[in-house]
Structure 1
Amino acid sequence: MVLSKSEFIASLQNEVRILLHLAHKIDRSTLDYRPTPKQRSTLELLRYMSMMGPMMIRYGLAKDGEFDRDAWAVEAKAAEARDFDQTLATIAAQPDEYAKLFAEVTDDDFRSEMTAFDGSKTTRGNYLVNSVLGG
Structure 2
Amino acid sequence: MVLTKAELIASLQHEVRILLHLAGKVDERSLEYRPTPKQRSTIELLRYLSVMGPGLVQAALTGTFDREKWGAEAAAAATRDLAQTSAVIATQADQFQALLGDLPDEAFRKELDMFGRKTTVGSFLVNSVLSGYAAYRTQLFCYLKACGREELNTMNLWAGIDPPPAQG
Show the counterpart of 2:93: 95
Whichever residue aligns with residue 97 of structure 1, its letter is Q
Instruction: Name 1:79's counterpart in structure 2.
Output: 77
Task: Give structure 1 stretches of 5+ with no counterpart.
Answer: none
Which position in structure 1 is the counterpart of 2:128?
131
Question: Deviation per CA, 1:1-36, whole angstroms, max 9, x where unpaired?
Answer: 111111000000000111111111112232111111
Moved over 3 A (4+): none
TM-score, normalisation: structure 1:
0.94
* TM-score for the superposition, normalised by structure 2: 0.76
Selected match of 1:70 from 64, 68, 71: 68
**Greater C-alpha radius of gyration:** 2
RMSD value over aligned CA atoms? 0.9
Match of 1:98, as an amino acid?
Answer: F
Match of 2:10 in 1: 10
What secondary structure sits across from 1:122 in the alignment?
strand
Partner of 2:57: 57
Partner of 2:147: none
SS in 2 for 1:78: helix
Q: Letter of the aligned partner of 1:115 in structure 2?
A: D
Q: Which amino acid aligns with 2:58?
A: R
| Aligned partner of residue 134 in structure 1, secondary structure | helix
Quick one: distance in 1 between partners of 2:34 and 2:72? Answer: 25
2:166 aligns with none
Structure 2: 5+ residue stretches without partners: 133-168
User: What is the deviation of 1:103?
Assistant: 2.8
